[in-house]
Structure 1
Amino acid sequence: MTEILERKKTARLHRAWIVAGIGFVTLIGAAGFRSVPSVLLDPLHDEFGWSHATIGSAVSINLMLYGLISPFAAALMDKLGIRKVVGGALVLVAAGSGLTVFMTSSWQLLLCWGLLVGVGTGAMSMTFVATVTTRWFFARRGLVTGILTAAGATGQLVFLPLIAKLAGDYGWRLPALLVAGIALSVVPLVLIFMRDYPSDVGLRAYGAPEGSTVGLRVAAVGNSAVRALVALKSAARTRTFWFLAGGFAICGASTNGLVGTHFVTAAHDHGMPHTTAASLLALVGIFDIAGTVASGWLTDRWDPRYLLIGYYTLRGASLLVLPSLFSEHVEPSMWVFIIFYGLDWIATVPPTVALCRQWFGADGPIVFGWVFASHQVGAAVAATGAGAIRDAFGTYNLAWYLAGGLCAFAALMSWRIRPLPQPVP
């Protein structure tokens, strides 16, 4: 009788896939919330007269907090649980987005879209992915990391064309209210279906062998902020951490900070309609889904260091040729860029998470939070810097060339990471 019950339990869908599914939905929303400012740059400029650099500063604060909150959110998830942290984050996003409809000064944009939405989305960043996969999966970690990371591309795909259409037809306030409503609608899903550890529902992590400690609840000791800082202090003693952080800072600058924030405006500078440019950026999301899932599959099988070298090299080459591809109409060469760049958009995440897990063991998700923080610092610098370049020279060309050159440097840093003889438990 016991054997029959065990077989029935094995045959059922493992709860880890349900948790991953809720995580996917949550990350779709988080990506959509962060993509809104890139479409609203020109509407806000037209209504309030704020410069691109000023509006870009709000995006920079958002991007920087999205990263800097990550390691503390990872530690807080150990202390309070995933459900409470993510549920509270969604409420913050709803408040920040909803309150923007009442703003009259630029500092209010910095407060709402910069501070509140930045903190909220920061708690639902890639450390959320690292925490879920580390706790709930023993097998297929790389693949699930790729799938959850691709949720960001899916959110961009869903939100960007819709927001651009609504902003064009009804003004920017309706998209802001839409984001607030969607954020609140996800809260019940998180509270009802999300669980913190497999052991909370009497399970082992997916694919974990008998006697494995993966998926067992671990009591958090001490202050969450202190733990995050201690993990940083320990990791910072290794060259690997600085190579990962440096490469990921360039990753953020060349994706979210530059392309994610300024591609629509740069294309419009060459006569392309906003809706067309936003649709192209959304297509990047389509191809990123395939690229990131494939990257997760490859990470389970290949040395993640070599994957990073290839990704950064190819991305840098594509950015160097981008300025020559902009035109009033979408030419075949631009389609090639969208496909090529999209496959590489955030394919760097699965191998970076894997290297953090190999080198830093149980502190891997928190250390990845700090690596991801560097990603967002780079994105913030690029978001403001590219806007300043546009204001000074009337074109983004210099920004594209600088980003392409930096990607070559990121590939070099990835090559300098040495293999760890034995992964840290």
Structure 2
Amino acid sequence: MTTTDQRSERTLPRATFRVHPAWWVAAVTFLTIIGAAGFRATPGVMMNPLHDEFGWPMGVIGGAVSVNLLLYGLVAPFSAALMERLGVQRVVAGALVLVSIGSLLPIWMTASWQLVLSWGLLVGLGTGAMAMALVATVTGRWFVTSRGLVTGLLTAAGATGQLVFLPVLAWLAEHSGWRSAALATGAMALLVVPLVLWRLHDYPSDLGLTAYGAPAGTPVARPVRPDGRPVRLALEALRDAARTKVFWLLAGGFAICGISTNGLVGTHFIPAAHDHGMPLTTAAGLLALVGIFDIAGTVFSGWLTDRIDPRVLLGVYYTLRGASLLLLPSLFSDDLHVNMLAFIIFYGLDWVATVPPTIALCRQAFGDRAPIVFGWVFASHQIGAAIAATGAGLIRDQLGTYTPAWYIAGALCFAAAVMSMSILKRRVTIDSPLADGI
């Protein structure tokens, strides 16, 4: 099978630029992920207004969020393969349009299945095409030097964009109704499309360049598109990677990461805080603060990933996250206090700090097929998030409290730490048959 690491023998003339275009590509990718992340913030803000207006149980609304989270992950590996076939620019521009449509349709909905169709199906497909597989693809193609740092920056864009929008969307929902918040997210996604068409080039060779930091003498060659269909490429990567222990350890740990972030805290923190008497805008502001500190935490994690064994980093991140979740139920109250603020700051630093070392481990283990393999690892993240989004809602409906959900997630984080430290530091070649002992 022809793969993207193969290059045609024709080389291109080397171009010169004052600023390497890799940084422009990274900047547009950053803005793209932020634009798409506007919708990622809406479920936490809209759950209570939708419950109040339509009378739908939290479990039903959480179910729509679960469909979104599930598709957001499952689409990622196929999206990575589609980018290999059609190009990053086309896939991302189309995905942004799909996100905008899915964000606007709920304005006219009258039944819960329409919420599942728009929030779940359309936005899930669109955001899935711009998930972390996009980060792995862009950094893998455009950067050699500072790859971990750029991975951290782009990873921060998703979580930060999602959470920083929360106060604005919460204010709109409270003062102008939740439909105005839906209009805002649809507009944000569309605004990024012109930037994508202008600057998001597919390969450095499109501009007569090598990747940023590539060794001197590296030829500038046109990439050869893979021969297989995107679905086949994605499934073949899953088949081969699934024969290795490292894949299942990464996927299992990342599923727990999804449970403890997007699925639980990202979806249910605001309703849980509101249960204890905290105003929606205050709770949304706290979750937005997570996004602000996420910038520093994720960028620093990317910097550390270039210097420290990523397995160790994951072990530390998951252990500290688990301990903080066990403490969270005792921190809720009707007023903001120092202990809750300390939790928010810490959780922000740790929110998606796990992504740079996880991508690094995928790259170490699976080489040039890492973006597609990481797409599958990320799918496990969203499966975990979907389970938590629905499960925590059901716990709240049945028991009248979210407390058991926080304890379960904390315990699982300790398991993820053990799984991460169990990964063997060994390269896997998934283009050939694999030994069962890897």
| TMscore range, shorter length | over 0.9
- With over 3 angstroms needed to count, the CA separation of the structure-2 counterparts of 1:384 and 1:171, relative to structure 1, is same
Indicate yes or no: 2:251 matched with 1:245.
yes
CA contact (8 A) 2:69 2:385 kept: yes
Q: Determine which of 175, 190, 195 is the counterpart of 1:184.
A: 190
Distance 1:180 1:215 in 2: 39
Is residue 289 of structure 1 aligned with residue 295 of structure 2?
Answer: yes
TM-fit CA distance, 1:178: 1.1
1:128 corresponds to = 134
> For residue 83 of structure 1, what is the aligned residue in structure 2?
89
Please state how far the C-alpha of 1:222 moved relative to its aligned partner. 1.2
| Counterparts of 1:21 and 1:423, CA distance in 2 | 32
Separation in 1 of the partners of 2:33 and 2:219? 27
Return the structure number with greater helix share. 1
SS in 2 for 1:417: coil
Aligned to 2:436: none
> In the aligned structure 2, how far is the partner of 1:417 from the partner of 1:212?
32
Distance (whole Å) between structure 2 residues aligned to residue 366 and residue 341 of structure 1: 28
Partner of 1:9: 16
**CA 129–231 in structure 1, closer or farther in 2 if over 3 Å, else same:** same
Aligned to 1:341: 347
Q: What is the aligned partner in structure 2 of residue 416 from structure 1?
A: 422
Find the counterpart in structure 2 of residue 363 from structure 1. Answer: 369
Amino acid at match of 2:216: E
Unmatched runs of 5 consecutive residues or more in structure 2:
1-12, 432-438
Alpha-carbon distance between aligned partners in 2 of 1:180 and 1:16, rounded to the nearest angstrom: 28
SS at match of 2:32: helix
- Find the counterpart in structure 1 of residue 151 from structure 2: 145
Equivalent residue of 2:401, what SS?
A: coil
Confirm or deny that 1:301 pairs with 2:307: yes
In 1, the alpha carbon distance for the partners of 2:220 and 2:104 equals 40
Deviation of 1:38 after TM superposition, in Å, equals 1.0
d(CA) in 2 for partners of 1:59, 1:86: 22
Q: Is the contact made by 1:205 and 1:214 (CA closer than 8 Å) also made in structure 2?
A: no
User: Which structure 2 residues correspond to residues 177-256 of structure 1 after superposition, within 5 A?
Assistant: 177-212=183-218, 216-256=222-262
User: How many matched pairs?
Assistant: 419
Aligned to 1:259: 265
Contact 1:270 1:328 in 2 (8 A): yes
1:391–1:147 distance in 2 versus 1, CA, 3 Å: same
* Partner amino acid, structure 1, of 2:64: A
Report the AA paired with residue 378 of structure 1: G
Match of 2:359 among 353, 360, 367: 353
Instruction: Compute the displacement of 1:260 (Å).
Output: 0.1
The letter for the 1-side match of 2:346 is F
Shift of 1:157: 3.9
C-alpha deviation, 1:423, in angstroms: 8.8
Counterpart in 1 of 2:435? none
The amino acid of 1:111's aligned partner reads: L
Q: Which segments of 5 or more consecutive residues in structure 1 lack a partner in the other structure?
A: none
Pairwise CA distance, 1:154: 2.6
Instruction: Select the residue among 65, 86, 89 that pairs with 1:59.
Output: 65
Q: Which moved more, 1:29-38 or 1:228-237?
A: 29-38
CA distance in 2, matches of 1:179, 1:212: 43
Letter in 1 for 2:225: A
2:4 maps to none
Superposed CA offset, 1:336-356 (max 9, x none): 101111110000000000010
Q: What are the Cα deviations for residues 369-410 of structure 1, in whole angstroms up to 9, with x where unaligned? A: 000000000000000000000001100000000000000000
Which letter maps to 2:174? G
> Distance between the aligned counterparts of 2:164 and 2:414, measured in 1?
31
Distance 1:214 1:382, change over 3 A: farther
Retained in 2: the 8 A contact 1:136–1:215? no
Mapped partners of 2:55, 2:263: distance in 1: 22
- Distance in 2 between residues matched to 1:270 and 1:239, nearest whole Å: 43
Aligned to 1:22: 28
Q: 1:199 to 1:168 in 2, by over 3 A?
A: same
Match of 2:281 in 1: 275
Aligned-pair CA distance for 1:206: 0.2
1:221: how far off?
Answer: 1.3
Classify the secondary structure of the residue corresponding to 2:165. helix
AA of the residue aligned to 2:314: L
| 1:40 shift after superposition | 0.2
| Distance in 2, Cα, partners of 1:328 & 1:363 | 49
C-alpha separation between the residues in 2 aligned to 1:284 and 1:138? 30
CA contact (8 A) 2:38 2:162 kept: yes
1:390, 1:19 → 2: CA distance?
Answer: 43
Structure 1 CA distance, aligned partners of 2:269 and 2:230? 38
Query: Identity of aligned pairs, percent?
Result: 67
What do residues 111-158 of structure 1 show as CA deviations (whole Å, max 9, x unaligned)?
001000000000010000000000000111000000000112331243
**Superimposed CA distance per residue, residues 169-225 of structure 1 (whole angstroms, 9 cap, x where no aligned partner):** 011101111111111111111011110000001010000013446985232211011
1:415 Cα deviation after fit: 1.1
| C-alpha spacing 1:213/1:371, structure 2 compared with 1 (3 Å) | farther
Q: What TM-score results when the alignment is normalised by the length of structure 2? A: 0.93
Query: Are the counterparts in 2 of residues 198 and 215 from structure 1 also a CA contact under 8 Å?
Result: no
Match of 2:52 among 46, 53, 56: 46
SS of structure 2 residue aligned to 1:9? coil
Q: Could you tell me how far apart the structure 1 residues matched to 2:223 and 2:28 are? A: 20
